Amino acid sequence: MQSQSQSQMLRKINGLFFVVISCVLFTNCDANAVFDTYKSVPSEWHKDSIATFNFKAPDTLKKYNLYVNLRNTNAYKFSNLFLIVEMNYPNGKVVKDTLEYKMAAPNGELLGTGFSDLKENKLWYKGFKDPFVFKEEGDYTVNIQHAMRKNGVVNGVEKLQGITEIGFRVEQAQK
């Protein structure tokens, strides 16, 4: 009888240890995040649908990396992804970029992290060559819209399948 209660106690201690270690690892891995938010996409991402992210400028003296984060499933049928990303600065300045990201390997396997058919992609927006500095204090807005087209077709893909969430992340650059 006593060994059974000791065994249960040992399992509880092991479980608690696992939870504590997981929390510590999760916190340390994400310690550089200043802003990290996702928006859900309905069953399809309409070409006119814009994901908007609002945030206050972090420290204007520090350097940052900015990312577009995407979660997608195997329903995503393209090897790349075109996005229009617009950043609105506090003083009214607007910077609009058309960006292309590789989403699949040559064999068709989707890139990104994840063990199931759901993949997560952390895509560079600003900071990959030189870290980004928020030179203006105040509120920033980032708008993200897809700009996908099929080869040889003038009109864009109206309803993009396979994207489940769109995110935007600001993290402090490593020295």
Instruction: Tell me the C-alpha distance between 152 and 150, whole Å.
Output: 6
Are residue 48 and residue 80 in the same domain, yes or no? yes
What does each of the 175 residues of the chain score in pLDDT, given as a tens digit? Answer: 556 666 665 555 554 444 444 444 444 457 889 999 999 999 899 999 999 999 999 999 999 999 999 999 999 999 999 999 999 999 999 999 999 999 999 998 899 999 888 999 999 999 988 999 999 999 999 999 999 988 887 788 999 999 999 999 999 998 6
- Residues of the domain holding 16: 1-31
CB 69 within 8 A of CB 169: yes
Helix or strand run (H / E) with residue 4: helix 2-29
Both 26 and 44 in a single domain? no
Does residue 160 sit in the same domain as residue 79? Answer: yes
Residue 24, CB half-sphere, CA atoms under 13 Å: how many? 6
77 in Cβ contact with 161 (< 8 Å): yes
